[in-house]
Chains A and B, each alone.
Chain A
């Protein structure tokens, strides 16, 4: 995807968030905790060197002043290249907006800001085995309700890690989500 296209989408999403008027729920009134495996579906420069091994993510979503906010962490591991394996830990915050096409199956689209921490498993250069880098992305998903509290989520996440040679990845995930009312002490804290 071209850089300009990403910025245009970001701009549209931000505009949509800012101008969105309806509040579906009181901010921080509920928390939806989700966890599930991830897989990488993109073939970009980085895949010429390393192959994606496995990944999973866990995140918490809550209604926000506009749409919803999501705080999460994703673990992605990559296979060996020249005796070097690495793990990417992506900590992120997503501002989401619901774009429901079907009434009972909500769909979400959002922008993500975060940081990717790399841990390299390498014999050489012990000093530089950890690194971190700014990561921006776009996130989307479909939620399929199972019960009032349980649901399944199919998510897709495009991210760009701003290393000198940017790393672009697209991950999809299948997550199980559980929704509950936020404890009052936590509402007080978050507000």
Chain B
């Protein structure tokens, strides 16, 4: 029934979309981050209706931006001020492995439709982080934040009611020094971040692999420089991040492993006005064993180099943007003899038609890799409706090299030996797969106070894949070299509504709703309905109260085969139910600015109704927690 509904909706939708012939971007700003109970920028993904998240530890968020991909594909792109970053561990992109403080964030842009940005054609979405630009002169700022979850034993630990002492949040500290001259600025940053993993859901697994205290300790530093002349701009960004020990949950093996990842990122970009831009990005992911590890994963180095250009020819009848990207990606370790093909090239084109009331874009991209050409095409249109709103639509057909998904790329080369040790192997999979996406929506203002954005989306992916998890105690269900992955078609469709209402001078409220239907066997069904409601009361520019309520319907994790309703099913550290309960979670807090906005005090209570909150069947549960912190800006904010 769902399949038929999806197909009918899809046909109608694609037709309408074709007839009217932009993508939809969500942007959150620093002030939005402050009006939540989280203190890490990566945590904020939970609040975005158009981003799906999954995590075992509330630290490493697996992210899906395009509504249909498996959480492990990691086909999306991370950029900071147009610099391309690839903080990858075992084929997974980890947002918390950036040398980035929340204080540096001006905005986070989530692009979940195909776009050509800085020479890159994104087919599975972009997380583009824009940082604040230094003002003239010297400035120093920093933050100290910590979280404390409820559920410790307290005095009862000395009684017959004793319970384990659990820590699962940690702290987040940063110090930033910058100086801006007339046409240059430079910035040094230092970070320390700690996250603990002592929740009972994962503690047993982690302590079976290490003698270390189960907590991640991230130390990072970065240096940024920018020169901006009348016509030329040059920007250099470099960062070094180390985390020891870090506990990476490997879904396929159903286990966390202690590792010591170090990431080095260096990037240069230059531009002549907005007409000609060029970029060079180098990312090194160095994975090492931890000294106190009992079980560990194989060490390796991953080097990636990306060279990109973006040329805008605006004087043509139809202005044209041409992007070119050449990427090299190689793994190095004692056990790797060959990487296979490591180079790929893509040429990306954007034709623009900009009229008074409408803007249309035709995007195309051709990527050559492993002697195969992948072609992409996308049509976007924005139409003003009598100055009352904006109608937008987008339709795209994309092809992707399977081996260019970080997940396959890793398990095909350095991860291959680990799969073999566990009696597993990658099955034959198609070198190219195709997927289609469409969005159609309207942005308008209702009753002169409610900003509205309503969007329908549909996705269809051929040769879609997911994998079965190798649970220690259920591995006999798997047939080695066959059952690990499964490929088939998948379709998802849904609706996203964003409402923003200014009640009066002091009260604002916003609501985001996502409703999605998809074929039950097309990857994880997480969740069908997600609703985020927030209300802010700001009686003064230096004080604000906020409350957020999040509702998620129940989720079905297809690759976890234990059904709680089946006889004898028992949840343990290694075996999980395949259904995550839905529910409503609330949070509240306040922000108080002091000392002419040099100081900001944040206090928030997370999961105020102390409801069971899990994002993964084998993952942590979030109890009611308190988040508190102080931000300081020498020159004020």
Q: Which residues of A contact B (CB under 8 A)?
A: 7, 14, 18, 27, 46, 49-50, 64-66, 78, 81-82, 84, 86, 93, 113, 115, 118, 120, 122, 128, 131-134, 136, 161-165, 167, 188-191
Contact = CB atoms under 8 A, between A and B. Distances in A.
Nearest to A46: B155
Contacts of A163: 150-156
Contacts of B49: none
Contact of A165 (B163, B537, B596): B163
Nearest to A49: B159
B152 A131 contact: yes
B516 to A, nearest CB: 31
Given A113-B603, A128-B165, A136-B605, A164 B539 contact: no
Interface string B133-153: 000000000000000111111
Contacts of A82: 158-159
A125 B154 CA distance: 14
B537 A86 contact: no
A164 B158 contact: no
B152 A164 contact: yes
Contacts of A191: 542, 594, 596
A86 B155 CA distance: 8
B391 to A, nearest CB: 37
15 contacts: A27-B540, A64-B543, A66-B539, A115-B148, A131-B152, A133-B150, A133-B154, A134-B626, A162-B610, A162-B623, A163-B155, A165-B154, A167-B155, A188-B595, A188-B596
User: 3 tightest A-B contacts by CB?
Assistant: A162-B150, A163-B154, A65-B539
B158 A189 contact: no
A78 B154 contact: no
A189 B594 contact: yes
- Best-surrounded residue of A66, A134, A136, A161 (most CB of chain B within 10 A): A134
Q: In this complex, which of B161, B542, B605, B623 has the most chain A Cβ atoms within 10 angstroms of its Cβ? A: B161
Given A133-B150, A165-B153, 20 more contacts: A14-B545, A18-B537, A18-B545, A49-B156, A78-B155, A81-B159, A84-B158, A113-B603, A115-B626, A118-B154, A122-B158, A131-B152, A133-B154, A161-B154, A162-B151, A162-B623, A163-B150, A163-B152, A164-B153, A165-B156
A109 B603 CA distance: 21
B157 interface: yes
A131 B154 contact: yes
Contacts of B626: 113, 115, 134
A167 B545 CA distance: 27
A131 B594 contact: no
A46 B161 CA distance: 11
Interface string B518-548: 0000000000000000000101101101000
Given A164-B163, A190-B594, A120 B150 contact: no
A7 B609 contact: yes
Interface of B: 148-159, 161, 163, 165, 507, 537, 539-540, 542-543, 545, 594-596, 603, 605, 609-610, 623-626, 628
A167 B596 CA distance: 39
A81 B159 CA distance: 9
A164 to B, nearest CB: 4
A147 B75 CA distance: 71
Q: Which of A46, A86, A161, A162 is the most central at the interface, judged by chain B CB atoms within 10 Å of its CB?
A: A162
Given A78-B155, A113-B603, A188-B596, A134 B150 contact: yes
A72 to B, nearest CB: 15
Nearest to A127: B165
Chain B interface, DSSP helix/strand/loop, else mixed: mixed
Nearest to B604: A113
A51 B47 CA distance: 44
Contacts of B537: 18
Nearest to B539: A65
A120 B545 contact: no
Nearest to A163: B154
Contacts of B151: 162-164
A133 B153 CA distance: 9
Nearest to A81: B158
A165 B161 contact: yes
Given A134-B625, A188-B595, A49 B155 contact: yes
B156 A120 contact: no
A131 B166 CA distance: 11
B314 to A, nearest CB: 48
A84 B155 CA distance: 9
A27 B156 CA distance: 41
A64 B605 CA distance: 21
A118 B605 CA distance: 20
Nearest to B593: A191
Nearest to B625: A134
Contacts of B148: 115, 132-134
Contacts of A189: 594-595
Contacts of A46: 155-156
Contacts of A78: 155
Given A18-B545, A82-B158, A131 B165 contact: yes
Contacts of B628: 115
Contact of A128 (B157, B507, B595, B609): B157
Given A134-B148, A188-B596, A65 B605 contact: no
A18 B588 CA distance: 14
Contacts of B150: 133-134, 162-163
A65 B543 contact: yes
A190 B161 CA distance: 43
Contacts of B159: 49, 81-82
Given A18-B537, A65-B540, A190-B594, A133 B155 contact: no
Contacts of B156: 46, 49, 163-165
Nearest to A64: B543
Nearest to A4: B609
A77 to B, nearest CB: 12
Contacts of A190: 594
Contacts of A165: 153-154, 156, 161, 163
A132 B507 CA distance: 34
Contact of A120 (B155, B595, B603): B155
B542 A118 contact: no
B624 A162 contact: yes
A4 to B, nearest CB: 10
A81 to B, nearest CB: 7
A120 B540 contact: no
Contacts of A113: 603, 605, 626
Nearest to B626: A134
B158 A120 contact: yes
A134 B154 contact: no
Contacts of B154: 118, 131, 133, 161, 163-165, 167
Contacts of A65: 539-540, 543
A131 B624 CA distance: 16
A133 B542 contact: no
A189 B597 CA distance: 9
